[in-house]
């Protein structure tokens, strides 16, 4: 196995662990600022590999790098009647024992004098901030990574610079070959003395700003003579070129053929085009819309994952990818024949996209996700505002314990989905070449 492949997997897992750790910091910092007692801050699951206690919090790393958590006391309010002046509830049912056990577990770490340190007693907006901190940290990380990618490295773009792979002969579109024959006619560019590395800057007196500009100007001109401005070795010059008519694939739909369009006979050069911060925001916004669409269609996407895992169907490039699959992609990136610049760009893009997806997934308003707690806090704020306006007694804290049965069901579904993704990533992984 290529050692770079292993290094790529390790680097991605390290990046993922850092992202998880900072996600939990996003919860930890506001929790402590608002006076919630946090007993544990852990990165990973399973048995503890390392831990240290600082003050009232144990900080540690666990062996399975598939998540993390902070443990805050009093996440669930006590049962009605356990608080002074309240009547004890006598409700019974098939799930009641489970709910009450969860309440008891939430109260186990509450010590005398901790009344103001429990999570459920905090103001609704404080709860929202605490639970929003994790996804917010992922969004910040995604923005940082995307900024490094777009502003520092750039995005691949076709520049109007003659590529070394440009053919010097005219090959009919109907012939699927790359090499020239002795009977092939030279291209207009070759006849005019155009060379690899020449930068096209004007065409027929019109400025060329991009490869798209050059393509449209050349095609719309049709056959005939034209002056082409180029820069060669930092020196501007003008070449007289006589275009010919050729059949070429349509720019919008390559399956269609445009008849007798202007033809110069050059290929563009791929460059890394740097963007500005405003474009980073637009890029993230567009990608966020695609991620949101994928989350809405997640059930259908998981059907595709099932078919890919057990029927051998091709993986959807827009479908979900688990940690195992993303790790393998990280290995493929480093082991590929791409340039170092492109490897770094794709790797940074992978980490940025993963953070964006984690942040948006956690905002789904269902427990046990952060979004479920955020929804509970917002609902509590609405109830208290309504009571204040209507001059009614202040309502109790929103009791998320009542939805624990649904929470456990969703948790089971999430574990099944995670297991299916791991299996699909092993037997039918999504590859960079797909």
The residues annotated with a catalytic role in the active site are 24
- Name the residue among 233, 227, 18 with its Cα closest to residue 140: 18
d(CA 65, CA 24): 13
Q: Name the residue among 117, 65, 106 with its Cα closest to residue 82.
A: 106
> CA-to-CA distance for 17 and 23, rounded, in angstroms?
10
SS (H, E, C) the chain: CCHHHHHHHHHHHHHHHHHHHHHHHHHHHHHHHCCCCEEEEEEEEEEEEEEEEECCEEEEEEEEEEEEEEEECCCCCCCCCCCCCCCCCCCCCCCHHHHHHHHHHHHCCCCCCCHHHCHHHCCHHHHHHHHHHHHHHHHHHHHHHHHHHHHHHCEEEEECECCCCCCCECCCCCCCCCCCCCCCCECHHHHCCCCCCCEEEEECCEECCCHHHHHHHHHHHCCEEEEEEEEECCEEEEEEEEEEEEEEECCCCCCCEEEEEEECCCCCEEEEECCCHHHHHHHHHHHHHHHHHHHHCHHHHHHHHHHHHHCCCCCCCCCCCCHHHHHHHHHHHHHCCCCHHHHHHHHHHHHHHHHHHHHHHHCCCCCCCHHHHHHHHHHHHHHHHHHHHCCCCCCCCCCHHHHHHHHHHHHHHHHHHHHHHHHHHHHCCCCCCC
Query: Smallest Cα–Cα separation from 10: which of 310, 238, 330, 274?
Result: 330
- Asked whether 173 and 394 are in contact (CB, 8 A), the reply is no
Distance CA 132, CA 139 (A): 11
Q: Would you say 245 and 262 are in contact if contact means Cβ atoms under 8 Å apart?
A: yes
């Amino acid at each position: 196995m290529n050692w770079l492949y292993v290094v790529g997997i390790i680097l991605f897992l390290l990046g993922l662990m850092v992202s998880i750790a900072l996600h939990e910091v996003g919860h930890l910092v506001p929790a402590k600022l608002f006076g919630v007692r946090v007993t544990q801050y852990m990165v990973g699951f399973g048995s503890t590999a390392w831990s240290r206690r600082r003050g009232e919090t144990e900080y540690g790393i666990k062996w399975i790098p598939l998540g993390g958590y902070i443990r805050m006391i009093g996440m669930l309010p006590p049962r009605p009647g356990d608080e002074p002046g309240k009547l004890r509830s006598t409700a019974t049912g098939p799930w009641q024992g489970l709910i009450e056990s969860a309440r008891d577990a939430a109260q186990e770490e509450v010590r005398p004098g901790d009344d103001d340190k429990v999570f459920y007693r905090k103001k609704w907006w404080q709860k929202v901030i605490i639970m929003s901190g994790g996804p917010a940290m992922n969004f910040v990380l995604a923005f940082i990574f995307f900024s490094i990618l777009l502003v520092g490295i750039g995005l691949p773009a076709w520049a109007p610079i003659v590529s070394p792979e440009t053919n010097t002969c005219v090959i009919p579109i109907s012939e699927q070959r790359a090499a020239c024959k002795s009977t092939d006619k030279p291209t207009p560019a070759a006849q005019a003395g155009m060379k690899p590395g020449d930068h096209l800057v004007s065409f027929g007196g019109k400025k060329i700003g991009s490869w798209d500009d050059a393509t449209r100007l050349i095609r719309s001109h049709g056959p005939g003579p034209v002056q082409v401005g180029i820069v060669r070795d930092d020196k501007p010059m003008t070449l007289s070129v006589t275009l010919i008519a050729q059949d070429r694939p349509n720019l919008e739909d390559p399956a269609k053929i445009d008849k007798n369009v202007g033809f110069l006979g050059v290929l563009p050069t791929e460059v890394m085009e740097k963007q500005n911060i405003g474009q980073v925001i637009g890029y993230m916004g567009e990608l966020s819309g695609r991620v949101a669409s994928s989350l809405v269609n997640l059930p259908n996407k998981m059907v595709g994952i099932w078919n890919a895992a057990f029927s051998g169907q091709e993986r959807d490039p827009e479908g979900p990818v688990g940690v195992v699959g993303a790790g393998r992609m990280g290995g493929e990136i480093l082991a590929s024949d791409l340039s170092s610049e492109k490897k770094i760009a794709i790797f940074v893009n992978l980490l940025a996209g993963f953070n964006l997806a984690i942040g948006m997934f956690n905002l789904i308003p269902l427990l046990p996700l952060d979004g479920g707690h955020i929804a509970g806090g917002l609902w509590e704020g609405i109830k208290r505002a309504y009571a204040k306006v209507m001059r009614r007694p202040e309502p109790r804290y929103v009791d998320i314990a009542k939805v624990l049965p649904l929470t456990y069901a969703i948790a089971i579904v999430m574990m099944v989905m995670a297991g299916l993704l791991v299996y699909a990533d092993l037997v039918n992984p999504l590859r960079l070449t797909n």
